Amino acid sequence: MAKGLAERLYMGEANLNIVGRRKMWFAIAGALVVLAIGSFLIRGFELGIEFSGGTQFVLPASVGSAERAHDAVEKAVTTAGVAEKANVGAAQQVGSGGSETYNVRTAALKQDEANAVKDALVKDLGVPAEKISDDRVSAAWGGQVTQQALLGLGIFLVLVLGYLVIRFEWRMAVAAVSSLLLDLVLTAGVYSLVGFEVTPSTVIGFLTILGFSLYDVVVVFDKVQENTRGITAGSTRTYSEATNLAVNQTLMRSINTGLVALLPVGGLLFIGAGLLGAGTLKDLGLVLFVGMGLGVLSSIVFASPMLAALKDQEPRIKSHNARVLNRRAAARSGDVARGERGRAANVTASDEVPALAGSTPGTPRPGSRPAGKRGSNRGGGAGNRPSGGQKRR
């Protein structure tokens, strides 16, 4: 009975031509990178208050809704006379139950301006002054966070390169790091295109997805190394074909690992942030969900094809690939020649048979006595010889 696709995937027998279509994957990745960079330049990022600086007003949930909180702050900054520079942002729900609040961000205000806005909110909403608070955040703090994150990213990449060079080889290290950088660029592109807010939790999430992406790439590369060990000593597969086999053999493992990792992250994002209103969980869960999903895809359709492209440029592998292809071409030529000889033998036999069957009746066969020359009873025959007991009269 024929196996289904799911069973063949689990057995590593699906034989999906992933590495063989690497030009298509590279073209898609290049187009996505160009789109992401274009979004960086045109749209930029929606920076959180920690990066852009500003003043944040915290209102109790008793005001009604996030829209009501936003409208109240807009009205208050107008009353305080700072509407032209306040630039009020959308209200964000934080917490749940008795601790639920609405955070509304404005541009950086002086302390006296913030006090005037707070007084206007107390009068408009009719809530006690101690229920409303304001926080001033300097953009310098966000800059420090970014600087430390970039330093951590650099150290991480250097350590990853060193480990992969020791564990595998430098080409695998280059392919793995290229995959990690692709994950970062595309995840950042999603944030820029959709307009997600970038916070310190987002930066932490970016560093977290690197470890997950690296794990999946190492699993695939370990199988590639197993399949290609001693490949030049004699094999019927090119390096790209052996790499593609490794990808097929680990495909379901990569998919299962990705799903198992995305389920709790999805719960963190959709339940923790969506239902419970934990804003900090939303920032962390969002980047993890997007980055891990892209990490699974890049480890399958980018890292391994990139490795095969780099290895195919190595002289030793290039010679091996040429020998395999030449051997296949010679085998195909031999099959064709044998087929032609067989067809020629069949044609010759079919031509000879009609020649014998269609000969004229008068044509003697070799070794036969000519017609009309057969012996007749002329005196020496037994029928004409006189009987020994009779005398001639």
Predicted confidence at residue 374, as pLDDT, reads 46
Residue 22 pLDDT level (bands cut at 50, 70, 90): very high
Q: What is the pTM of this model?
A: 0.71
Predicted confidence at residue 102, as pLDDT, reads 81
Number of neighbours of residue 356 by Cβ within 10 angstroms: 8
Predicted confidence at residue 128, as pLDDT, reads 85
Predicted confidence at residue 276, as pLDDT, reads 57
Strand order from edge to edge, sheet including 101-106: 92-94, 101-106, 54-60, 133-137
Residue 270 pLDDT level (bands cut at 50, 70, 90): confident
Residue 69 pLDDT level (bands cut at 50, 70, 90): confident
> Is a pLDDT exceeding 80 seen at residue 389?
no
User: Cβ neighbours of residue 282 under 8 Å, at least 6 residues apart?
Assistant: 269, 272, 273, 274
Residue 156 pLDDT level (bands cut at 50, 70, 90): confident
Q: Which of residues 330 and 389 earns the better pLDDT score?
A: 330
Mean pLDDT of 262-271: 78
- Tell me how long the chain is: 393
Predicted confidence at residue 340, as pLDDT, reads 60
Over the stretch 252-266, which tens digit does the pLDDT of each residue have? Answer: 888 888 888 888 887
**246 vs 253: CA distance, rounded Å:** 11
Give, to the nearest 10 degrees, the angle between helix 170-194 and helix 22-42: 40
**116 vs 219: CA distance, rounded Å:** 59
Predicted confidence at residue 229, as pLDDT, reads 87
Give how far the C-alpha of residue 147 lies from the chain's centroid of Cα atoms, to the nearest Å. Answer: 30
Structure tokens at 8: 């063949």
Number of neighbours of residue 95 by Cβ within 10 angstroms: 15
Is residue 54 within 8 Å of residue 108, measured between CB atoms?
Answer: yes
% of the chain beyond a pLDDT of 90: 16
Predicted confidence at residue 306, as pLDDT, reads 94
Over the stretch 84-100, which tens digit does the pLDDT of each residue have? Answer: 666 777 777 776 666 77
Over the stretch 275-286, which tens digit does the pLDDT of each residue have? Answer: 655 555 677 778
Over the stretch 3-13, which tens digit does the pLDDT of each residue have? Answer: 666 566 656 56
Predicted confidence at residue 97, as pLDDT, reads 64
Residue closest to 95 by CA, chosen among 264, 289, 275: 275
Mean pLDDT of all residues in the chain?
A: 78
For every residue of 165-185, DSSP letters joined together read: HHHS-HHHHHHHHHHHHHHHH
Predicted confidence at residue 27, as pLDDT, reads 96
Is residue 70 within 8 Å of residue 88, measured between CB atoms?
Answer: yes
